Chains A and B, each alone.
Chain A
Amino acid sequence: MTTMLLIASLAVGGSALVLLARDERPAFRAATPVVFGGLVLWLWQVVCTGYGVPEVLLPPPSRIGAAIIGHLPTLGQDFQQTFLRAVIPGWLIGCASGLLAAIALDASPFLRRGVLPLSSLVSAMPIVGIAPIMVMWFSFDWQSKAAVVVVMTFFPMLVNAAAGIGQTGAMEADLMRSYGAGYARTLLKLRLPSALPFVFNALKLNATLALIGAIVAEFFGTPIVGMGFRISTEAARLNLDVVWAEIVMAALAGSLSFALLTLVERVVTFWHPSFR
């Protein structure tokens, strides 16, 4: 029975996808991934309930939905602890100081040639590993998580912003000089605006990194609230529906911040070729 339902859904869903993908109208193009996502969820549900997959292995989507609604207050608290208290301040501080450091480095070519190779080296390192050190320095609470996020977001911003500031065209710089513009004005009117696409690139990259940093830092000790704490303890207690609910929350938080940043980027850097 389940097998037949499975084959039928696969056949119907698959052919619907193939038909949708052939159509070039924008509405149909947008519908294809949605239908695909729905199909995956449906198959997941059918397999889980139909074959009686134990919930300690994989809870069906309906259970996860129920867990999201049932644990809404807890999820809200965890979201507040992890996202509002650790991710956002840490991301803001890390990105701001990375940007300031890039501007400061811009004034000294010697330091820039020393710092940038080291920074790109650090960017490629498993920085989440500093979490236990930060927990030791800044207490168990959100301060240590924010500190991890600051360190994780600082270097990508520094590297990207420095690259952005450094790539101002010589023609534009000459034009500014012919206007008699000083260092500050050139920086404000030409170099920073032209670095913005790079800065936004780092902001978006850092949004994901910040969430990862805060969640992983909570694996090393935390008060009894927070997304990372909930994920690790409920996984150990085999309450997988709650774990999945947290993961859905984290995914939503991540992709919504990403979408918001993309929107802001479009508005702020409307002049960039990729948006014209």
Chain B
Amino acid sequence: MGKVAPVLVVLVILTTLWYGAALAMNWDQAQTLADDDAGWTDVATAALTLERPLLPTPDQVVGEMIRGVFGYNVVSSRSLLFHAGVTAWAASLGFMVALIAGMTLAIGIVHIRTLDRALMPWLIVSQAVPVLAIAPMVVVVLGNIGLTGVTPKALIAGWLSFFPITTGMVKGLRSSDPMRRDLLRTYSATGTQVFMKLRWPDSMAFLFPAMKVAAPLALVGAIVAELPTGAQAGLGARLLTGSYYGHTPQIWAALFMAAILAMLAVAAVDGAQALLVRARGGRL
């Protein structure tokens, strides 16, 4: 209870502020639409129930989400779950690619000195580069050679989540206690044995935090990759059509859906970590 109460209080404050802001921002539009003899209560009610408000109220957003999730068949293009699924599929494909590629590269960097010296500085620089900017180009170019649909989206999602996984994994593979490495050397362990019994297990404590950073990034990549081509499906497409037609509740619903997906992704990483911790008898 000690943890939940403050969060609840803050949430209540935020919701109240949100309603206040909705009232203030939608007031003008409601007044223009209202009759001349409408009292201020009528205008206020109208301001909170507009069809295309500047700021939809929380109940409008939640209503739009419930309608989107339960109102339509899951395969219908009007279902929010359908769009969330399209984006989540691309993001998780990309995340898998990034996981495999990032781990492979990290293992190479840790074991091959040339790779370490040549690549590591570029990997560090790449964290300061807005890699997302390449998304429109990748989508267009791949579309040009006939690759459309999930492939370009997954590639961009993977490209984005690749960097944190690689750097985290490199750090993790190097985090082993030197004493233990020495101990293994006294056992005359081979490089493979040191890797399997020491480096790899130790790297997990760094891999999971890196995955927690990378998973939402994959989602961002998938969403942004849906923007440039005016994709028909996916949360990015919902954001785009919502902003074209000024249908604000749709934008907010897509946004909250994306947030829920991000939370689910982080929760999935947490779950995998908990499983691993249990399998290892209580420590990561």
Contacts and interface: CB of A to CB of B under 8 A. Distances in A.
B154 interface: no
A114 interface: yes
Interface stretch (A116-124, A158-166, A170-178, A189-197): A116-124
A45 B127 CA distance: 25
A211 B130 contact: yes
B99 interface: no
Contact of B7 (A17, A117, A137): A117
Contact of B216 (A20, A22, A33, A126): A126
B38 interface: no
B93 interface: no
Contacts of A276: none
Nearest to B125: A255
A32 interface: yes
A223 B212 CA distance: 36
Contacts of A208: 127-130
Contact of B258 (A126, A132, A236, A254): A126
Contact of B116 (A21, A129, A215, A236): A21
Contacts of B141: 56-58, 235, 240
Given A124-B266, A231-B136, A240-B137, A219 B224 contact: yes
Nearest to A251: B129
Contact of A236 (B5, B140, B242): B140
A13 to B, nearest CB: 10
B17 interface: no
B243 A132 contact: yes
Interface string A8-41: 0000000001101110000001001101110000
A219 B114 contact: no
Contacts of B116: 21
A255 B121 CA distance: 12
B22 interface: no
Interface stretch (B27-35, B78-86, B247-255): B247-255
Contacts of A115: 10
B128 A257 contact: yes
B179 interface: no
A128 interface: yes
Given A21-B113, A29-B117, A118 B11 contact: yes
Contacts of A258: 127-128
A136 B128 CA distance: 29
A272 B25 CA distance: 47
A249 B256 CA distance: 33
Interface in A131-150: 131-133, 135-137
A21 B114 CA distance: 5
Query: Contact size class for B?
Result: 35 or more
Main secondary structure of the interface of B (DSSP, over half): helix
Contacts, number: 167
A212 B242 CA distance: 21
Contacts of B119: 33, 36
Contact of B137 (A117, A215, A235): A235
A250 B129 contact: yes
Interface of A: 17-18, 20-22, 29, 32-33, 35-37, 56-58, 110-115, 117-118, 121, 124-126, 128-133, 135-137, 204, 207-208, 211-212, 215-216, 219-221, 227-228, 231-232, 235-236, 238, 240, 243-244, 246-247, 250-251, 254-255, 257-259
Nearest to B242: A132
B6 A114 contact: yes
Given A124-B262, A258-B128, A36 B122 contact: yes
Interface string B122-144: 10010111101110110111001
B251 A212 contact: no
B118 A111 contact: no
B118 A35 contact: yes
22 contacts: A17-B117, A22-B113, A29-B117, A36-B118, A37-B122, A125-B262, A126-B216, A126-B220, A128-B224, A129-B254, A132-B239, A132-B243, A136-B243, A137-B54, A208-B127, A215-B133, A216-B224, A227-B133, A235-B136, A244-B137, A246-B133, A255-B128
Contacts of A255: 125, 128-129
